[in-house]
Chains A and B, each alone.
Chain A
Amino acid sequence: MPNYLSNMRPDFKPRTVQCGKIPCYQYRGSLKDAVADGSLSKQTAIDMLEDMLTIREFEEMIVKLRSGAYEPTPTYNYRGPTHVSIGQEATSVGACFGIAPDDYITSTHRGHGDSIAKGCAAIRAMDVEDLQARVPDAKAKSRKELVEAALEDHVYRTIAELFGKEDGYCKGRGGGMHIADFKVGHLGANAIVGGGVPIATGAATAARYLGDGIVTCCFAGDGAYANGVVLESLNWAAMGQFTNALAKDKAFGLPVIYLIVNNHYGMTHRSDDEVMGVEFMSRRAAGFADNNMHAETVNGMDVMAVRDAVMRAAEGCRKGKGPYLVELDTYRYYGHSLSDPRNEYRTKDEEMAWKAVDPVETFERDLLEAKVVSPAKLNALRQKVADRNARAAKKAADAADPNPADVIKYMYTDTAADKVPERFAKVEIVKEAPVIKRTDAGELTYKDAIKEALFEEMLRDGRVIHYGEDISDYGGAFKVTKGLLEAFGRQRVFNSPISEAALCGVAVGAAMTGLRPVVELMYMDFCLMASDQISNQAAKWHYMSGACAEIPLVYRASVGGGKGYGGQHSQTLESVFAHIPGLYVVYPATPYDAKGMLKSAIRDNNPILFVESQLLYGNKGVVPREEYLIPLGTADVKRQGKDLTIVCWGPAVLDSLAAAEMLEKESGVSVEVLDLRSLVPLDEAAILESVRKTGRCVVASQCITIGSYMGDITSLIMEKAFDSLDAPVVRVGAKNGIAPQSHILEAAFLPNAKDIAAAARGIL
């Protein structure tokens, strides 16, 4: 029985789509009232001011550093970005006081404020034990002193990251634009505009699945809300299947708050009137959810209003009413960076008008008026913040730089999910296990081998989820996943919208926050739609976070070459991604390898591009029933030989084996076929060992030859086995062109066994 069959009818009755109402600037509260009614303690109000002052002091330091005028570090030469957010402090602090300390945030390239606010809020909520763990060297005794020490450490580690020091949050690998502190739920600032939005969506997807009550607050600017992956993410968040009958008893809206920090400028472009067509960005929500994602626009210069809106949104999220979208109307006093003088696109009068409603000054005034602080106490607070920043900056300037020898340390993790936590080890089959038929000889098809790997790993570990286009009820375009929905239910096996960038980005966020997502990309060509998420996010976060985050995910990408689908459905692109450091790239050629490698990939804690070939899906091979794993980064000698080596991967392995047979028959040449299986990590030793033995090498794959990974293999052999070569290493790939649709042309385009044999003869 199918799970879900659509059964709709044409219905063209005249009617009007109601877009509902989006409230703007409706906050009617005040600090005075909040303190009076007890919804805000005086200390919390003071803490909010302190955090805003801390942010401003920090960013004014950056401004002064650039001109060499920051007195505590007169000789320090700061190199790096200067994307300050002065003027926007209320958005960071208001939001971080609106969510819970355990909640997640994602931030932007202008994210110092968010990062400082999130850290401060989390530190204040920590118990003594956590504080001592955070600042083990502190001599402080009381909790209050410990908090103070932790706050100073927080400022220090933030500045140290800005300065590229080993003591920084990301060990100087990320810098201010990629700062993250996963320990307090800060999932990273993101220097790709909009890049953090699918990550936030993924974190919320994980939180929804795990049901641990965590909300993700996604900071992103107005500029980001013109970006494709952001709009894809909004659509993802509002998917019907999360909340309607398909979710059954798991109906729960995605717990995410999209905060549009609208400072009205992209880099310098004016969002108002110039590059966008709406007066209020909150209207974006209306395109994705019938409830407009509870959208509203809030005065982003008023920290109380921001806190109020985010608090309400977080509360709603925890009740399963997410997603929420809140536009914060705010202003950036400085330019995009300090090299931007601003006078080319806006007036001084405009700036003065916004500074007149400065969030820090306004809140100070409110605090004085409400008699929460005395003028003397306020001055003391300002001085404390300035002194703390000065000490932290001086310490950071003097701190040790990372060791140049460690430049590529943290590129990959060597960990894997060898043991499944008890909570996720008890997986039950929802309905029935998928049908996977073996022949009498114990053979499986390549695609059933993949299915069996997915099934076994999902059964082993409840953190593994699988989604992609059409993979659930339909079982995927190539029926690889047929039966998994029935086995594990829609919580773990679900269809995604046709949003490749979001698919890949959501996986990053989910992987950061406890899941082990497996994503199917129907055609490898579509990787290019998602290249930012694969290359800039999945691949980079382990390194950019200084190894504070692991991104255990698998992108299953299927190559369509060889079946006449033309230029956009036939590409063999593993070379492109092998060039992206931080990503593993593997490509099994046999059912046995496909299963053993996919199981390893799912357990590995690195992001992995797992390439499959539609040409191979129907191939059969013996696949044992017993559990086995094939370690990634190990090549396999598919055929022993002594006269010539063919190094190959993917479908070219089968062509190479055929070529080896031909050569053996026609001239008795003994050919060794080495299937790399894994491009990254690369089994250099196996290549060199084989070539040192035979002295001749053909490198074969279905990649177009130019600029491909085959060139790297060739170079490797030249560099490390030159004296073993009896002939030049030659490459056999596809023609340097675009895959044609015509069967005749495609046959000429792709390499085959004859091409490989001919290349071999040329060097024998």
Chain B
Amino acid sequence: MAQAVAMPKFGQMVEESSIVKWHKKEGDSVRKGEILFEIETDKAVMEVESFFEGTLLKILVKENVSVPVSSVVGYIGTPGEAIPATPPPTAAAAPVPPQTPAPAQPAKPQPAPVQQASAALPAVAPRAPASVRPDGLVPSDAKVTPGARAPAPALPAAPARQIISPRAKALVKRSCIDPSPIAGSGPGGRVQERDVRAYMESRNYSAIRISPAAKKLAAAREVDILRVRGTGAGGRIMIHDVERAVAERPRALTKMRQVIARRLTESFTTTPHFYVTVAADITDLLVFRKDLKNRGEVYTVTDFVLEAVIMSLQEFPILNSVCDGRTVRWHGSVDLGMAVSLEDGLVVPAIRNAQDLGMRELHDTAASLAARAREGKLTPDEMTGSTFTVSNMGMLDVDTFHAIINPGEAGILAVATARDRVVARNGKMEIRSMMNMTLSVDHRIVDGSLAADFVNAIRKKLEDVALWTSLT
């Protein structure tokens, strides 16, 4: 009997995954330990190795189809061997329910990607993905409202199936229109040719002028020409109009972006945020860092920020807590989240038990996590469970930004670019390196004065070179 290859489960909370790329095709021989396919979970893309030797007899789950973990995705065996007649796993089309911590037992913190300020990354506001049909057409009744909370912001949900006769479907295809708004008048509500024709007439289809090439493209790309504005002479739809329509139409978010969307929307709409900004004078720290570097000891500014936050969190344990609206729970250790920007999103690896790490260990751990995050090689457990997050956009040339709190945490520190500014110091104007830091906090458990004390505690540490001398 052929060996079944299952969709692996990476991490406790992963319920479904999709294969983004098969490295083998049916009939290829597979050695044990060879990369069989890559999967994308809601956290990352990872490579999966084969446990079996043999020939890939059958691929049951094609690329980019999300199925529950442990589903059989294929079979490995010897050619000619029988394959069990099990139906391929059904795509997990149902939206993943939002993870709301239960009141009695607050859920384990769910670290996840953090949406940075809208200025920092191209806005990828949730665009009602539920109303995106698999063919990429948007029903006319779906309101595409950027930023609005999506009713089910997960995979494109299968709409209630429209019953449409083959003849009507063929006409729809030929006419390059989207049939979803058409009501069927046939038995059982079947859309028939006459319904399509009536709809086309009501939409004044016959008045549409379209170039043959544009129509061909529209047919190939399934563009509804009723919704394309023609820019040719007399409103004639030209190829570039169709191309624009193709470019403009909604696409499904990647898994990662969907998770980002879901979690940040949840956080931003359920956690009352407020923000406190301070400017840290890191002139001396930069000099000190340069000295260290000259001595061969390399640290990043982030290392100092992280360490300052770690120490401050120990002084202000309420900032290392989580609130669900009814209870507040303190985390006994500082598992510091560190937002790392990726090509299409970001992840927040956690530095475990950060309070126990020396500066050197902290630097190494942070560097390693960041490097592996960029390579997509973080394990699911490394990407979960942070208790407070630092998002540093210092290298991105920004004056200040406000971050959204990662669900399950009490605050996040948004670190901006250090700039040389003229400041009054000891009654004189001086040019100093000033770095804005904005703390976002959950107002349910943190008030203004506490937030101010906390962020100033961080600031003071960064300005205290003596402290760093003792720590490095």
Is B169 interfacial (CB-CB < 8 Å)?
yes
Chain B residues whose C-beta falls within 8 Å of the C-beta of A763 in the assembled complex: 187
User: Which of A120-128, A245-253, A625-633, A717-725 is the interface stretch?
Assistant: A717-725
Is A509 interfacial (CB-CB < 8 Å)?
no
B167 contacts A723, C-beta separation under 8 Å:
yes
Contacting B at CB under 8 A, from A338-376, are none
User: What are 18 A-to-B residue pairs whose CB atoms are below 8 Å?
Assistant: A695-B165, A695-B167, A695-B192, A722-B166, A723-B166, A723-B167, A723-B170, A724-B166, A725-B166, A725-B167, A726-B165, A726-B166, A726-B190, A726-B192, A726-B194, A727-B165, A727-B187, A762-B187
B187 contacts A724, C-beta separation under 8 Å:
no
Is B168 interfacial (CB-CB < 8 Å)?
yes
A695 contacts B193, C-beta separation under 8 Å:
yes
A727 to B189, CA, bound (A): 11
CB 8 Å contact bits of B151-173 with A (1 = contact, 0 = none): 00000000000000111111000
A636 to B187, CA, bound (A): 30
B187 contacts A726, C-beta separation under 8 Å:
no
CB 8 Å contact bits of B178-192 with A (1 = contact, 0 = none): 000000001100101
Chain B residues whose C-beta falls within 8 Å of the C-beta of A762 in the assembled complex: 187
Give the interface SS of chain B, mostly helix, strand, loop or mixed: helix
A724 to B167, CA, bound (A): 4
Residue of A nearest to B165 (CB): A726
Given contact pairs A695-B165, A725-B167, a sample of 7 additional A-B residue pairs in the complex whose CB atoms are under 8 Å apart: A695-B193, A723-B166, A723-B170, A724-B166, A726-B193, A727-B165, A762-B187
Residue of B nearest to A643 (CB): B194
Residue of A nearest to B169 (CB): A723
Chain A residues whose C-beta falls within 8 Å of the C-beta of B186 in the assembled complex: 726-727
Residue of A nearest to B174 (CB): A723
B165 contacts A725, C-beta separation under 8 Å:
yes
Residue of A nearest to B195 (CB): A726
Distance from A130 Cβ to chain B, minimum over Cβ atoms (Å): 55
Chain A residues whose C-beta falls within 8 Å of the C-beta of B170 in the assembled complex: 723-724
Distance from B198 Cβ to chain A, minimum over Cβ atoms (Å): 13
Interface-central residue, A724, A725, A726, by most chain B CB under 10 Å: A726
Chain B residues whose C-beta falls within 8 Å of the C-beta of A727 in the assembled complex: 165, 186-187, 190, 192
A709 to B86, CA, bound (A): 35
Chain A residues whose C-beta falls within 8 Å of the C-beta of B190 in the assembled complex: 726-727
Distance from A414 Cβ to chain B, minimum over Cβ atoms (Å): 35
Interface residue tally of chain B, by bracket? Answer: 10 to 19
A722 to B166, CA, bound (A): 6
Chain A residues whose C-beta falls within 8 Å of the C-beta of B194 in the assembled complex: 726
Interface residue tally of chain A, by bracket? Answer: under 10
CB 8 Å contact bits of A224-249 with B (1 = contact, 0 = none): 00000000000000000000000000
A726 to B163, CA, bound (A): 11
A695 to B167, CA, bound (A): 7
Enumerate the 3 nearest inter-chain pairs by beta-carbon distance, A residue then B residue, closest first. A723-B170, A726-B167, A726-B165
Contacting B at CB under 8 A, from A673-723, are 695, 722-723
Residue of B nearest to A762 (CB): B187
B: residues with CB less than 8 A from A are: 165-170, 186-187, 190, 192-194
Chain B residues whose C-beta falls within 8 Å of the C-beta of A726 in the assembled complex: 165-168, 186, 190, 192-194
Residue of B nearest to A691 (CB): B167
Distance from B200 Cβ to chain A, minimum over Cβ atoms (Å): 15
Distance from B171 Cβ to chain A, minimum over Cβ atoms (Å): 9
CB 8 Å contact bits of A132-147 with B (1 = contact, 0 = none): 0000000000000000
Distance from B464 Cβ to chain A, minimum over Cβ atoms (Å): 77
A691 to B45, CA, bound (A): 51
Distance from B363 Cβ to chain A, minimum over Cβ atoms (Å): 66
A726 to B167, CA, bound (A): 5
Distance from B126 Cβ to chain A, minimum over Cβ atoms (Å): 37
Residue of A nearest to B194 (CB): A726
A762 to B168, CA, bound (A): 18
A521 to B165, CA, bound (A): 45
Residue of A nearest to B173 (CB): A723
A724 to B193, CA, bound (A): 9
Chain B residues whose C-beta falls within 8 Å of the C-beta of A695 in the assembled complex: 165, 167, 192-193
Chain B residues whose C-beta falls within 8 Å of the C-beta of A725 in the assembled complex: 165-167
Residue of B nearest to A724 (CB): B167
Chain A residues whose C-beta falls within 8 Å of the C-beta of B165 in the assembled complex: 695, 725-727
A721 to B289, CA, bound (A): 78
Residue of B nearest to A763 (CB): B187
CB 8 Å contact bits of A548-581 with B (1 = contact, 0 = none): 0000000000000000000000000000000000
Contacting B at CB under 8 A, from A715-764, are 722-727, 762-763
Contacting B at CB under 8 A, from A600-655, are none
Chain B residues whose C-beta falls within 8 Å of the C-beta of A722 in the assembled complex: 166
Chain A residues whose C-beta falls within 8 Å of the C-beta of B166 in the assembled complex: 722-726
A727 to B166, CA, bound (A): 8
Residue of A nearest to B170 (CB): A723
Distance from B457 Cβ to chain A, minimum over Cβ atoms (Å): 72
A763 to B193, CA, bound (A): 13
Chain B residues whose C-beta falls within 8 Å of the C-beta of A723 in the assembled complex: 166-167, 169-170
Residue of A nearest to B191 (CB): A726
A725 to B170, CA, bound (A): 9
A723 to B186, CA, bound (A): 16
A360 to B201, CA, bound (A): 91
CB 8 Å contact bits of A407-423 with B (1 = contact, 0 = none): 00000000000000000
A725 to B190, CA, bound (A): 12
Interface-central residue, B167, B170, B187, B192, by most chain A CB under 10 Å: B167
A762 to B190, CA, bound (A): 12
A656 to B190, CA, bound (A): 25
Interface-central residue, B166, B186, B187, B192, by most chain A CB under 10 Å: B166
Distance from A104 Cβ to chain B, minimum over Cβ atoms (Å): 53
A723 to B196, CA, bound (A): 14
A251 to B192, CA, bound (A): 71
A727 to B185, CA, bound (A): 12
A763 to B194, CA, bound (A): 13
Distance from A694 Cβ to chain B, minimum over Cβ atoms (Å): 9
Distance from B196 Cβ to chain A, minimum over Cβ atoms (Å): 10
A639 to B169, CA, bound (A): 28
Chain A residues whose C-beta falls within 8 Å of the C-beta of B192 in the assembled complex: 695, 726-727
A762 to B186, CA, bound (A): 9
Distance from B348 Cβ to chain A, minimum over Cβ atoms (Å): 51
Distance from A520 Cβ to chain B, minimum over Cβ atoms (Å): 45
Residue of B nearest to A718 (CB): B166
A161 to B168, CA, bound (A): 54
Residue of A nearest to B186 (CB): A727
Distance from B187 Cβ to chain A, minimum over Cβ atoms (Å): 7
A722 to B164, CA, bound (A): 12
A726 to B193, CA, bound (A): 6
A762 to B170, CA, bound (A): 22
Chain A residues whose C-beta falls within 8 Å of the C-beta of B193 in the assembled complex: 695, 726
Distance from B343 Cβ to chain A, minimum over Cβ atoms (Å): 42
A107 to B147, CA, bound (A): 89
Distance from A315 Cβ to chain B, minimum over Cβ atoms (Å): 67
Distance from B109 Cβ to chain A, minimum over Cβ atoms (Å): 54
CB 8 Å contact bits of A188-232 with B (1 = contact, 0 = none): 000000000000000000000000000000000000000000000
A695 to B196, CA, bound (A): 13
A445 to B306, CA, bound (A): 105
A724 to B187, CA, bound (A): 17
Distance from A617 Cβ to chain B, minimum over Cβ atoms (Å): 39
Distance from A6 Cβ to chain B, minimum over Cβ atoms (Å): 64
Distance from B195 Cβ to chain A, minimum over Cβ atoms (Å): 9
Chain A residues whose C-beta falls within 8 Å of the C-beta of B167 in the assembled complex: 695, 723-726
Residue of B nearest to A692 (CB): B167
Distance from B169 Cβ to chain A, minimum over Cβ atoms (Å): 7
A695 to B171, CA, bound (A): 11
A277 to B186, CA, bound (A): 70
A96 to B379, CA, bound (A): 91
A762 to B188, CA, bound (A): 11
Distance from A449 Cβ to chain B, minimum over Cβ atoms (Å): 39
Distance from B284 Cβ to chain A, minimum over Cβ atoms (Å): 77
A321 to B45, CA, bound (A): 96
